[in-house]
């Protein structure tokens, strides 16, 4: 049932892309972007682009997307949107989180990023501008990657919550019962590898240009930082994505420790009834 629904979503997304691509006017930003891309190709090797380019994209996007949530703690008018208002962020927690992030980013993720060049060479992934898919296709491919990653994340995340495993690995991520954006990748190194593998599976299926790697990095970071932000902001554009779980859904997982295991969408939790405690909680809250 869920597999058929996923296939239907992906096929619908690609049909929509075909239509949008046919009616889109020429992008006015294309010439300067093409010039910048060609400059990069002319001045850096593929290894430098795949390795250091990917690292820079990850670090820049991660902390850029974390910035709004970090600033919210200093804005009194934003506190009405904070989900767990009795658990404010502290400098001690944020500094501890930052140190763990730096370790994971440079000692766990960077060695993995160093394999990007060899991945693109093995699968003959192009770098040139003319082979780059237009943005509607990139969005559809990112959606496909999200569906694959969400499935991997649900089942492996749920396994990491097993009582015989939890205290050794996933307990680190749950040190913060009231999450904040920067905490999205705060995790045991083993968890970084285990759950992070889902990121690469979608890339192996959908990747047809090196730029998709960066687009998918941006999409995934935006989603995971949003659901860990701790703030349920009204009119969040991410909620336009069908079945998007959102901040309140994942915040409950940190508060409750049980249920709501998916990373992006709600269908696996709904199908396997692991959102029942969340639904009861929300019903009580609305009464």
The residue behind tokens 């930082």 is: 225
Distance CA 287, CA 273 (A): 22
> What SS3 class is residue 244?
strand
Q: What is the pLDDT of residue 22?
A: 46
Distance CA 92, CA 98 (A): 10
Q: What is the pLDDT of residue 29?
A: 56
Give the domain range for residue 60: 2-234
Indicate the number of domains in the chain. 1
Asked if residue 250 is part of any domain, the answer here is no
Asked if residue 201 is part of any domain, the answer here is yes
Distance CA 196, CA 217 (A): 11
Asked if residue 243 is part of any domain, the answer here is no
Asked if residue 255 is part of any domain, the answer here is no
**Residue 265 near residue 147 (C-beta atoms within 8 A):** yes
**Residue 172 near residue 186 (C-beta atoms within 8 A):** yes
Asked if residue 281 is part of any domain, the answer here is no
Handedness of CA 7, 13, 15, 21 (dihedral sign): negative
Asked if residue 282 is part of any domain, the answer here is no
Distance CA 118, CA 114 (A): 8
Mutual angle of helices 247-256 and 210-228, in 10-degree steps? 60
Asked if residue 287 is part of any domain, the answer here is no
Q: Which residues, in sequence order, are CB contacts of 6 under 8 Å at separation 6+?
A: 147, 151, 267
Average pLDDT of the chain? Answer: 91
Which class for 89: exposed (0-12), middle (13-18), buried (19 or more C-beta within 10 A)? Answer: buried
> What SS3 class is residue 59?
helix
Q: Give me the phi and psi of 146, to 5 degrees please.
A: -65, -40
From first CA to last CA, the distance across the chain in angstroms is: 33
Segments in the chain below pLDDT 50: 13, 17, 19-24
Asked if residue 263 is part of any domain, the answer here is no
């Amino acid at each position: 049932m869920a597999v058929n629904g996923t296939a239907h979503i992906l096929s619908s997304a690609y049909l929509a892309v075909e239509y949008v691509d046919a009616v889109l006017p020429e992008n006015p930003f294309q010439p300067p972007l093409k010039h910048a891309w060609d400059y990069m190709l002319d001045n850096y090797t593929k290894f430098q682009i795949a390795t250091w380019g990917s690292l820079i994209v990850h670090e820049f996007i991660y902390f850029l997307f974390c910035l709004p949530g970090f600033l919210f703690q200093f804005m009194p008018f934003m506190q009405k949107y904070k989900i767990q208002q009795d658990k404010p962020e502290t400098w001690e927690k944020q500094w501890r989180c930052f140190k763990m992030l730096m370790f994971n980013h440079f000692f766990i993720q960077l060695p993995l990023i160093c394999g990007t060049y060899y991945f693109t060479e093995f699968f003959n992934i192009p770098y040139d501008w003319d082979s780059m898919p237009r943005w509607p296709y990139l969005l559809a491919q990112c959606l496909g990657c999200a569906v694959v990653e969400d499935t991997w994340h649900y089942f492996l995340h749920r396994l990491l919550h097993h009582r015989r495993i939890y205290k050794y690995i996933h307990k680190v991520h749950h040190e913060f019962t009231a999450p904040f954006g920067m905490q999205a990748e705060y995790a045991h190194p083993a968890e970084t590898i285990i759950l992070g593998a889902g990121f690469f599976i979608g890339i192996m299926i959908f990747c047809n240009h090196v730029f998709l790697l960066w687009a998918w990095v941006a999409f995934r970071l935006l989603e995971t930082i949003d659901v860990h932000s701790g703030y349920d902001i009204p009119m969040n554009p991410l909620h336009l994505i069908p079945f998007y779980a959102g901040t309140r859904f994942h915040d409950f997982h940190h508060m409750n420790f049980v249920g709501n295991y998916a990373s992006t969408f709600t269908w696996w939790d709904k199908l396997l009834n692991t959102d029942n405690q969340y639904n009861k909680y929300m019903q009580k809250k609305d009464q």
